[in-house]
Homo-oligomer: A and B are copies of this chain.
Amino acid sequence: MPVDGRLVRGDATRRTVLKRAADVASVEGLDGLSIGRLAAELELSKSGVFALFGSKEELQLAAVRFAGEVFAASVVGPTSEVEPGIGRLRALCENWLDYSRRRIFPGGCFFFNVGAEFDARPGKVHDAVADASRGFAAFITGCVQEAKDLGELQADVSRLAFELHALGRAANADAVMFGGTEPYDVARACMLDLLTAAAA
């Protein structure tokens, strides 16, 4: 099966552009992205970068998809190696705090920043970001439900999920804004408390 060398090359540069775009957007926002600046930093031509995506909005959407892959690979994916139940739930929390603390994106959690940026605007980018956020919230809820079904904890599922979600986001926000890693420690302690308090 012969691969098309043109498409391979295109996808390669697309990915380098998207990596940089996601990194920049985690700090300056998806609107702070400029095609010209991306091109200059990567030593490509502005029109070349533009042609790879067709429009700035498509570039933004592609950046959201790319960041979603990174997030899934860092936070969600590794939980499948842990037995379902309270253990997996704990692993999810750890992975998430680690993903933010280790600055996989230089501006902290990509979806926290971009979510706040597009939460009140209409359009495709909002919808894409909202879908991603909803998906992650649903995954947390699913893990909590799983642990409850296994009889490992008894709690209001959606409320516990909301609390865990809230703690993680707050830790990211405070740590990025003020520096230091203490918010992660506080959030983690709160999360563990919540889980042990709900343990059956």
Contacts and interface: CB of A to CB of B under 8 A. Distances in A.
Interface of A: 26-29, 31-32, 106-108, 112-113, 115-117, 119-121, 129-130, 133-134, 137, 158-159, 162-163, 165-167, 169-171, 173-174, 176-178, 183, 186-187, 189-190
Contact of A31 (B31, B116, B137, B171): B31
A119 B113 contact: yes
A162 B177 contact: no
When all copies of this chain in the complex are counted, the total is: 2
A108 B120 contact: yes
A130 B179 CA distance: 11
Contact of A121 (B27, B31, B120, B190): B27
A176 B120 contact: yes
B178 A130 contact: yes
Ordered nearest first, which 6 A-B pairs have the shortest CB separation?
A: A166-B170, A116-B116, A107-B120, A119-B177, A166-B166, A119-B176
B108 A26 contact: no
